[in-house]
Chains A and B, each alone.
Chain A
Amino acid sequence: GAVVSQHPSRVICKSGTSVKIECRSLDFQATTMFWYRQFPKQSLMLMATSNEGSKATYEQGVEKDKFLINHASLTLSTLTVTSAHPEDSSFYICSASNRQGGGYGYTFGSGTRLTVV
């Protein structure tokens, strides 16, 4: 089945540094990927939609200069949290739109726990 690999699973960084999170579709081409943020005991909040070869579309209230998204190939999207601060600590999850089998499916990565100290 469709698999999305998200890396790293956990990262601790110092305040002011940047962190890159990778999301790869391993066995299918993902023209569209989504990035979510999840706070403890809360739902997933969509941050942005990335389409291969074009600029990401950010949701209202998401700082595009802080959360840089690159979708340079059909199998890889990256989220870079720039100049990270403790309030950026969260669980980040990517998802790829997957139309295998003719259905409208979404495959999720396993998530990245970011802690900014």
Chain B
Amino acid sequence: AQSVAQPEDQVNVAEGNPLTVKCTYSVSGNPYLFWYVQYPNRGLQFLLKYITGDNLVKGSYGFEAEFNKSQTSFHLKKPSALVSDSVLYFCAVRPSTPDSWGKLQFGAGTQVVVTP
């Protein structure tokens, strides 16, 4: 069975400190991996994705994520968190198998709270 896990419901960090949001996955084949953010009562906004190539992916707003195949992880990181980073983060995976029809599977979401 394919799955995406975000082990933390909430991450608390002080402004200026490094921020990490964890994501692990279990899918067949080589996955495509995504991070999105969601503001209250809004759709999802794209942060970054890994399709192939360099394992370190840089995205919007200073975020980056590292694809680790051996640990099946795709943790999201930011060197210095801002209060405005306090939103809901979703990790998503798309299996690369043809029968996946391009469907994304989402993790449960992690709420980030950055305190001033």
| A contact residues vs B (CB 8 Å cutoff) | 4, 6, 32, 34, 42-44, 46, 49, 57, 91, 93, 95, 97, 103-111, 113
Contacts and interface: CB of A to CB of B under 8 A. Distances in A.
Contacts of B34: 106
Interface stretch (B12-20, B39-47, B61-69, B72-80): B39-47
User: For B36, B41, B43, which residue has the most chain A Cβ atoms within 10 angstroms?
Assistant: B43
Nearest to A110: B43
Interface string B95-106: 000000111111
A42 B110 CA distance: 10
Contacts of A49: 101-103
B59 to A, nearest CB: 12
Interface residues on B, range: 20 to 34
Contact of A111 (B42, B101, B104, B107): B42
B108 A43 contact: yes
Given A49-B103, A103-B49, A43 B90 contact: yes
B90 A44 contact: yes
A5 B49 CA distance: 22
Interface of A is mostly: strand
Contact of A97 (B41, B102, B109): B102
6 contacts: A43-B106, A46-B103, A49-B103, A104-B51, A108-B36, A108-B43
B107 A43 contact: yes
B41 A32 contact: no
A104 B90 CA distance: 17
B57 to A, nearest CB: 11
B43 A109 contact: yes
A77 B75 CA distance: 33
Contacts of B103: 34, 46, 49
B46 A106 contact: yes
A105 B92 CA distance: 12
A111 B43 contact: yes
B49 A104 contact: yes
B38 to A, nearest CB: 9
User: For B36, B44, B45, which residue has the most chain A Cβ atoms within 10 angstroms?
Assistant: B44
